[in-house]
Structure 1
Amino acid sequence: MTRYVLRRLLQLIPVFFGTTFLIYVLVWAVPGDPFSGKCGQTACPPAYIALMTEKFHLDDNIFVQYVKYLGSLFTGDWGETFNGTSVGELIATSYPITLRLAVIAVAIEAVIGLTAGVLTGLRGKGFLDNLVLVSTTFLISLPVFVTAIVLQLALGGNGLGWIEASVSDDPGIGELIVPGIALGSLSMAYVARLARTSIAENRRADYVRTAIAKGQPQSRVVLVHLLRNSVIPVLTFLGTDLGALMGGAIVTEGVFNINGLGGLIFRGIQNRESATVVGVVVLLVLVYLLMSLVVDLLYAVLDPRIRYD
């Protein structure tokens, strides 16, 4: 296992450099004047442009810029915006909120999606199966922002009055449950369908029939044999979905006025703050790489047939 972990960590190194370089090039190589609008209605003075050009190494070619950026990143310096604000401080303020929101969304989609998928996969055709299929199809067809707005109107002050229309500056878990449902609604539908298909396929497998023939209790057959093997594709989806939800929370955070990474990256794109955009996306790349490693290691825990030598 130790050798496998080391090998996987080494494999992540070229992936990290490749993805971050591509992101850096796409962000900083965007055509246009990077200083447009930075000085109000008037054009920026030459002295300011010269200072910013030197500060962000814009006179160097893109490869040299990237190497210098990595050098600063590895020392803990995430860069600065054009107005001198530390990108690291901006991320440190926004990251915990988005992480809580994404974890809540993953937990909701895992619990509800897995439960619905397992029940329908075990029972087969029937009312519950049709209900889950119709419900998941409905959720898949709805954009996330529509689900978020509907939940806000139905549960907010204009509806049942259970939640506030906007969350606080530092929201707790309770305030993020409804936004988490909205954010994870689409993935929850996919988890339910994926679990349903996997359970229905594996319940006809030889090892399940053997366990039943040996007289093992139904609960043990389902939990120990059937569910452990069927949950692997679902686990893969959930593991990679954490990074996707953190990066895709822009709309949900906007609807509920959440000061997270989504709003930070949106403002960075809108104001052409390239350092902010690159910093946030690099962080999301690290989350993706870490979660992919964790998922690979969990495979051996869930499926005894998988061994890492």
Structure 2
Amino acid sequence: MGRYVLRRLLQLIPVFIGTTFLIYWLVWSLPGDAFAGKCGDRPCPDAYVQAMMDKFNLGDPLIVQYGKYMLNVLQGNFGETFRGLDVGELIGEAYPNTIRLALVALAIEAVIGLAAGVLTGLRGRGFLDNLVLVSTLFLISLPVFVTGFVLQITLGFELKWIKTTVSASPAPWEHLIVPGFVLGSLSMAYVTRLTRTSIAENKRADYVRTATAKGLRQRRVVGVHLLRNSAIPVVTFLGTDLGALMGGAIVTEGIFDIKGIGSLVYDGIIGKEGVTVTGVVTLLVMVYLLSNLLVDLLYAVLDPRIRYD
């Protein structure tokens, strides 16, 4: 196991360098004036432009810019915006809210999705199965911003059950339940369908019939044998979805006024703050890579036939 982890960590290095360089190139190679609008309606003075060019190494070749930037990132320095704000501090203020929101969404989609998938997969075709399939298809077809607005208006403005905005930082966990449901609604539908299909296929497997023939209780057969083997594709989806939830929270955070990473990226794009966008996306790449490594290690826990020697 130790050698496998070390090998996987070494494999992450070229992947990290390649993805972050691609991100840096896409952000800083966009056509147009990087200083447009930075000085109001008037063009920025030449002295200001030259000072910013020197500060952000914009006069160097792109590969040199990337190398200097990554050296600073590895030291925990994500740079400064054109307005002189520290990007690391901005991320430190916004990231806890996004992590909380993503964890709530992940928990909702895992609990509800697995429960609905297991229940319908075991029972087979019937009223409940058709109801779940129609409900998940409805969630897949409905855009996230529509779900967010409907729940915000219904539960917030009309029924007064929730707060319509979550402006506190850090956001309380109980205030993130509805936004988390909105963020994880699409993935919850996929988890339900994926679990249902996996359970329906594996419940006819030989090891399930053997466990039943031994006289094991149905709960143990399902929980220990059937569910563990059926959960591998679901765990893969959930592991990769954690990074997607953090990166795709722009709409949800905008609807509920959550001061998170999504809002920070949106403001950086609108304000053409390439340092902010690059720093946030670089952090999300790290989350993706580490979550994929964790998923690979969980395979051996779920399926005893998998061994990393």
TM-score in terms of structure 1 length: 0.99
Shift of 1:99: 0.3
3-state DSSP of counterpart to 1:180: helix
**1:121 maps onto 2:124 in alignment:** no
**1:168 maps onto 2:179 in alignment:** no
Which residue of 2 is the match for residue 261 of structure 1? 261
Which residue of 2 is the match for residue 210 of structure 1? 210
Shift of 1:113: 0.3
1-side partners of 2:79 and 2:64: how far apart? 16
1-side partners of 2:74 and 2:211: how far apart? 52
2-side partners of 1:159 and 1:201: how far apart? 44
2-side partners of 1:168 and 1:30: how far apart? 33
1-side partners of 2:124 and 2:137: how far apart? 18
Shift of 1:169: 2.1
2-side partners of 1:228 and 1:160: how far apart? 41
Aligned amino acid, residue 161 of structure 1: K
1:89-128 CA-to-partner distances (Å, cap 9, x unmatched) read 0000000000000000000000000000000000000011
1-side partners of 2:193 and 2:176: how far apart? 25
Which residue of 2 is the match for residue 290 of structure 1? 290
Which ranges of structure 1 fall in alignment gaps of 5 or more residues?
none
Aligned amino acid, residue 126 of structure 2: G
Q: After the TM superposition, which segments of 4 or more aligned residues of structure 1 sit over 6 Å from their partners?
A: none
Which residue of 2 is the match for residue 53 of structure 1? 53
Instruction: Compare 167-176 and 38-47 and name the one that shifted more.
Output: 167-176
2-side partners of 1:182 and 1:162: how far apart? 16
2-side partners of 1:289 and 1:4: how far apart? 15
Shift of 1:152: 0.4
Which residue of 2 is the match for residue 154 of structure 1? 154
Identity %: 70
Aligned pair count? 308
Which residue of 2 is the match for residue 188 of structure 1? 188
1-side partners of 2:204 and 2:42: how far apart? 71
2-side partners of 1:71 and 1:118: how far apart? 48
2-side partners of 1:149 and 1:61: how far apart? 46
1-side partners of 2:299 and 2:28: how far apart? 38
**1:102 maps onto 2:97 in alignment:** no
1-side partners of 2:168 and 2:39: how far apart? 29
**1:250 maps onto 2:250 in alignment:** yes
3-state DSSP of counterpart to 1:41: coil
What are the equivalent positions in structure 2 for 1:227-238 lying under 5 Å apart? Answer: 227-238=227-238
2-side partners of 1:162 and 1:193: how far apart? 30
Shift of 1:168: 2.9
3-state DSSP of counterpart to 1:40: coil
What are the equivalent positions in structure 2 for 1:13-162 lying under 5 Å apart? Answer: 13-156=13-156, 158-162=157-161
2-side partners of 1:62 and 1:228: how far apart? 48
Which ranges of structure 2 fall in alignment gaps of 5 or more residues?
none
Which residue of 1 is the match for residue 178 of structure 2? 178
Shift of 1:164: 1.2
1:217-261 CA-to-partner distances (Å, cap 9, x unmatched) read 101100000000001100000011010000000000000000000
Which residue of 2 is the match for residue 302 of structure 1? 302
2-side partners of 1:168 and 1:115: how far apart? 32
Q: What root-mean-square deviation, in Å, do the aligned CA atoms of Structure 1 and Structure 2 show?
A: 0.5
1-side partners of 2:286 and 2:77: how far apart? 16
Aligned amino acid, residue 301 of structure 1: V
3-state DSSP of counterpart to 2:158: coil
1:149-170 CA-to-partner distances (Å, cap 9, x unmatched) read 11101100x2110111111322
Aligned amino acid, residue 242 of structure 1: L
TM-score in terms of structure 2 length: 0.99
Aligned amino acid, residue 285 of structure 1: V
1-side partners of 2:195 and 2:60: how far apart? 51
Shift of 1:196: 0.2
Shift of 1:11: 0.4
1:43-88 CA-to-partner distances (Å, cap 9, x unmatched) read 0000000000000111111100000001111111101100110000
3-state DSSP of counterpart to 1:150: helix
2-side partners of 1:263 and 1:125: how far apart? 43
Aligned amino acid, residue 135 of structure 2: S
Aligned amino acid, residue 294 of structure 1: L
Aligned amino acid, residue 162 of structure 1: W
2-side partners of 1:262 and 1:147: how far apart? 18
